[in-house]
Each structure stands twice: as structure tokens, then as C-alpha cells.
């Protein structure tokens, strides 16, 4: 085979199908951290969201027509709700109980793995009568986007598209707008820079931060559900592959801003899909895949070493805001 046989369309689409869920999770992280709350919990949030979404699909299996896509759309809704609800724990611990935010994140992750693992197998055993540690999902449909797919070269990105990619694009745009253009977004960013100023302006800092943390859960849940569809077509504890941490790396790489973070996600996604798609073409041994998969992490480290000095975390990130201490 030669360079001509490379399926560039697949590289683009696969790359995006990895980059976009990562992006939406990272945007969740950006909300939380721009509001001043460290969020190492993304991994746990995306897993719990996907668990709730998959649980919905598994428990309503008989209610929908055999090949209906409706359960899939609902699963994203429920994943968002599930992730948001789980994020409430992080919000309560960090804001109400003034816990160390790093510890809280670690707790959420451990709790998420434990809860979903325990309940997946217990529910399977007790309610569905099968010994399994996963909830099966239907295969996601893939769409070709009319007109856009006919654009030369870039058109490839619009063939065999997962529906969740469009969902994420819409949701991401919405949350970009919310963060940078609206009243709420302005307050979120102020809470992470100088909560005292926000408080003095008569805004309830805790409430703003609470909202931002819940949003991080909602978005992580959507991302987690996407990974469940694109990578495994089921929910199992295997979903905890470190994508949440990767999203954190992406958002730090993107300097806590949405557009540069998108670029970071694209680097991760495209190098990954290029590795998967190029290796067979060059008859490389399967082992080389692992080396290729390590590449984006090396690239990120090098880029951070070169450009990292200018990175500036939100000024009040990690500070417990205690109203009584002025």
C-alpha cells in the first residue's frame, strides 16, 4: 500500500470524534476553574454521566421501536443530568464544606468508579437478571452531511459523522457564548479572578461558583456519553481511561480559554486517529501503535515547555472563598 491509500477522511472524522468529546469535557473544566474551583473530578463526572445515560438506555430497552435513535438522544440528556447531579457533590464539598478542592476532586473520582462499578453489576444482576458489568448501547448511526461533504479536502470531515459531534458543536458554541458574552459568564470569570470584587458588586459568589461546577458536570456527562458510543458501544468501568485528566491537560494547555483548548483537543484527536489510520498503511507492526499513541503526550509536554511560561491560571483558583473573612 502507499500514501495514496490513506483514508484521510477517516483520520479527520475519527480525530474529531475524539477531539470533540474531549473539548466539551474541557469546557466543563474551564467553567469550574474560571470560577475559581479546581476540578480534578472531570474523570469521575464523565463516567457517572455516561453511567446514568447508559442506565436509561438499558432500563427502557423495551419501550422504544427496535431501531429507533430516540434512546440515544435521551441518553445524552440523562448523561448531562447525571453528570450535573454528581458535580453537586463537588460543589457542596468545595463551596459549602470548604474542603480542599484537590482532595474533593480525588474523592469524586474514586466515588464515581466505585458507585458505577457497584451499581452496574448489582443492577444487572438484580433487575436484568444477567451477570455483567456493562450496559450495552445501540450502535450509533453515522451521518453524511449534505453539501458540506462535497467541499474539497475538508469535506471529508463531514462524512460518517456521529450525531454526538453535532450535538457537541451546538452545545460548545452555546457555552462559549454563555461564558464570554453573557452576564452569567462575566460573573463566572470574575469569581475566579477576584471573588471579593464580585461579592462587593452584590453578587453571591457561592451561587455563581455552584452553577459553574454543575455546568462542568453537565458537559463532562455529555462527553462521557459520547466516548461510550464512539469507543465501546457500551458502558463499563473501562470508560475511566483518563480522558478526564487529558481534558484537564488540554485546558491548561489552552490557558483556560475555550478556543486554544479546542486546538489542544484537535492535536490530541488528530495525532491519535492518524496513528490508528496510518499504521496499517505502512505495514507497521501493531506494537508501533503504542508508540504513536504516546506521541501526542510528548508533543504536549514539549509545547508546554516552550510556551508554558506564559500560562496564567485564574488568579483565585483554588482559594476557598469565605465571606466572613474579608
The residues that touch other proteins, with contacts defined as CB under 8 A, are 40, 89, 93, 96-100, 102-104, 106-107, 109-111, 113-115, 117-118, 121-122, 125-126, 177, 181-183, 186-187, 189-190, 193-194, 196-203, 242, 245-246, 248-249, 252-253, 285-288, 290-291, 293-294, 297-298, 300-301, 304-305, 308-309, 311, 315, 326
CB of 152 to other proteins, least distance (A): 32
Q: Which residues contact 190 (CB under 8 A, 6 or more apart)?
A: 197, 198, 201, 203
User: Is the distance from CB of 39 to CB of 216 less than 8 angstroms?
Assistant: yes
Shortest Cβ distance from residue 262 to other proteins (Å)? Answer: 18
Locus of grid cell 447525571: 82
Give 194 or 230: the residue with its C-beta nearer to other proteins: 194
User: Measured between alpha carbons, how far is residue 126 from residues 3, 117, 132 in Å?
Assistant: 53, 14, 11
Please report how many Cα atoms fall inside a 13 Å half-sphere around the Cα of residue 163, on the Cβ side. Answer: 13
SS3 233: coil
Q: How far is the CB of 296 from other proteins (least distance, A)?
A: 8
Report the candidate in 68, 49, 86, 98 with the shortest Cα–Cα distance to residue 223: 49
Q: Residue 145 or residue 288: which is nearer to other proteins going by CB?
A: 288
In the complex, least distance from residue 146 CB atom to other proteins, rounded to whole angstroms: 25
- Closer CB to other proteins, residue 156 or residue 241? 241
Q: Residue 33: CB partners within 8 Å, gap ≥ 6?
A: 39, 192, 251, 256, 313, 314, 317
Closer CB to other proteins, 151 or 197, in the complex: 197
CB of 290 to other proteins, least distance (A): 4
Q: Give least dist CB 171 to other proteins, A.
A: 15
Q: For other proteins, which is the closer residue by CB, 13 or 50?
A: 50
CB atoms within 10 A of CB 133: 17
- Spell out the residues 6+ positions from residue 295 whose beta carbon is closer than 8 angstroms to its own: 271, 275
The string of DSSP codes covering 64-87 is S-TT-SHHHHHHHHHHHHHHHHHH
- Residues 14 and 156 sit within 8 Å (Cβ to Cβ): no
Place of cell 501526542: 296
Q: At its nearest, how many Å lie between other proteins and the CB of residue 216?
A: 16
Q: Which CB sits closer to other proteins, 169 or 193? A: 193
Strand segments, DSSP code E, in the chain are: 135-136, 234-235
Q: Which C-beta is closer to other proteins: that of 67 or that of 326?
A: 326
Closer to other proteins by CB, 45 or 93: give it. 93
Supply the minimum distance, in Å, between the C-beta of residue 144 and other proteins: 30
Name the grid cell of 292: 504513536
Amino acid at each position: 500500500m502507499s500514501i495514496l491509500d490513506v483514508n484521510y477522511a477517516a483520520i479527520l472524522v475519527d480525530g474529531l470524534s475524539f477531539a470533540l468529546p474531549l473539548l466539551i469535557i474541557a469546557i466543563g473544566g474551564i467553567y469550574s476553574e474560571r470560577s475559581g474551583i479546581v476540578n480534578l473530578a472531570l474523570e469521575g463526572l464523565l463516567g457517572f454521566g455516561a453511567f446514568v445515560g447508559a442506565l436509561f438506555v438499558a432500563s427502557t430497552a423495551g419501550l422504544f421501536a427496535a431501531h429507533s435513535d430516540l434512546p440515544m438522544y435521551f441518553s445524552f440528556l440523562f448523561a448531562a443530568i447525571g453528570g450535573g447531579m454528581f458535580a453537586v457533590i463537588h460543589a457542596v464539598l468545595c463551596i459549602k464544606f470548604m474542603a480542599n478542592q484537590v482532595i474533593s476532586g480525588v474523592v469524586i473520582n474514586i466515588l464515581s468508579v466505585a458507585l458505577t462499578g457497584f451499581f452496574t453489576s448489582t443492577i444487572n444482576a438484580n433487575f436484568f437478571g444477567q451477570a455483567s458489568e456493562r450496559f450495552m448501547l445501540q450502535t450509533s448511526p453515522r451521518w453524511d452531511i449534505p453539501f458540506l461533504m462535497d467541499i474539497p479536502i475538508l469535506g471529508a470531515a463531514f462524512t460518517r459523522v456521529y450525531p454526538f459531534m453535532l450535538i457537541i458543536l451546538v452545545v460548545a458554541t452555546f457555552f462559549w457564548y454563555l461564558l464570554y458574552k453573557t452576564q452569567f459568564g462575566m460573573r463566572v470569570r470574575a469569581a475566579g479572578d477576584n471573588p471579593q470584587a464580585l461579592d462587593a458588586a452584590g453578587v453571591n459568589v457561592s451561587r455563581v461558583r455552584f452553577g459553574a461546577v454543575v455546568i462542568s458536570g453537565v458537559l463532562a456527562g455529555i462527553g462521557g456519553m459520547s466516548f461510550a458510543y464512539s469507543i465501546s458501544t457500551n458502558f463499563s468501568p473501562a470508560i475511566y481511561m483518563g480522558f478526564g485528566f487529558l481534558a484537564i491537560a488540554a485546558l491548561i494547555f489552552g490557558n483556560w480559554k475555550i478556543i486554544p483548548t479546542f486546538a489542544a483537543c484537535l492535536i490530541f484527536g488528530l495525532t491519535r486517529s492518524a496513528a490508528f489510520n496510518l499504521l496499517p498503511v505502512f505495514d507497521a507492526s501493531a506494537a508501533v501503535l503504542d508508540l504513536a499513541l504516546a506521541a501526542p503526550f510528548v508533543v504536549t509536554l514539549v509545547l508546554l515547555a516552550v510556551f508554558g511560561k506564559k500560562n496564567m491560571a485564574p488568579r483565585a483558583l483554588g482559594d476557598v472563598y469565605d465571606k466572613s473573612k474579608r
